Amino acid sequence: MSTTAINPKGARTYAAGAGPFAWNQAYLGSSVGQKILVAITGASLVGFLFFHMLGNLKMFSGRESINAYAHFLKHDLGAIIWIARGGLLALFVTHLFLAIRLKLRAKAARPIGYAMHRTAQANPASTSMIWTGIVILTFAVFHLAHYTFSLIHPVELADGTMGTYFDLRDAKGQHDVYAMVIAGFSTWWISAIYLVCQVLLFVHLSHGIPSSLRTLGLTGRRFEPAAKALGYAVAGVILLGNFAIVLAVWSEFLKP
């Protein structure tokens, strides 16, 4: 077992065999270190969700615009896209793994539970963070299967045959992401899944954002209302942007 020793006259030292990463291990093994990692990975994921939503709004600028954007991301960025994908996956996994671990630790430290659940700032969003998080993860897997791997929903092609989303091509022969999104959200049950999950994402983010800011040290009377307002504002913008795309297709404002 690695142990650490404090040298009162100098810097913290580590017992022989503890290795050069003992500080990291001790820090990341602590609940505080893990909470900070959950906050940082959460904030990075919010950044991804915001820019993903902004990019998807190109649906409103027309077929050429969104198809060119998707083509740029997938084909013009070279290795960068794979580094970004790897980073995104690492963020998702770290965030979920540590959040669940912290929750289980807290439960184990209090096996009987409170007679009355009256935590400092408990509200339905804060008590359901793990559950909304698990639904969002399930949604992300469904979403990848749906759009990225085209495993969920066959489409009718121009020549009347059935195919996958990958068979949809525009006039330039590029992947027709515009037609793919229209095909996806023209199907009522797919739109319904997206809409319900966007609401749960809003619930998760509107609590997660102020909670992360608190963990990162922005606390106190002055910051608390501002952090809450920022949480609702960012979560609300992501919700409205994503809703707009689904509803615009559903209502046929965006046409094939």
**Residues in touch with ligand HEM (CB under 6 A):** 49, 52, 56, 70, 85, 88, 136, 139-140, 143-144, 147-148, 177, 181, 194, 201, 242, 245-246
DSSP letters, 27-58, are HHHSHHHHHHHHHHHHHHHHHHHHHHHHHHGG
Work out how close the CB of 37 gets to ligand HEM at its nearest, in angstroms, rounded to a whole number: 19
Of all residues in the shown chain, the one whose CB is closest to ligand HEM is 242
Nearer to ligand HEM, 35 or 95 (CB): 95
Return the number of the residue (157 or 200) whose C-beta is nearest ligand HEM: 200
Q: Which helix (H) or strand (E) segment is 161 a member of?
A: none
Pick between residue 26 and residue 129 the one whose CB is nearest to ligand HEM: 129
Whole-number minimum distance, CB 190 to ligand HEM, in Å? 10
Query: How far is 134 from 131, CA to CA, in rounded Å?
Result: 5
Which residue lies nearer to ligand HEM by CB, 200 or 218? 200
Place of tokens 């996994």: 93
- Select from 99, 83, 85 the least CA-distant residue to 52: 85
Phi, psi (deg, nearest 5) at residue 49: -60, -40
Q: Least distance in Å: CB of 81 to ligand HEM?
A: 7
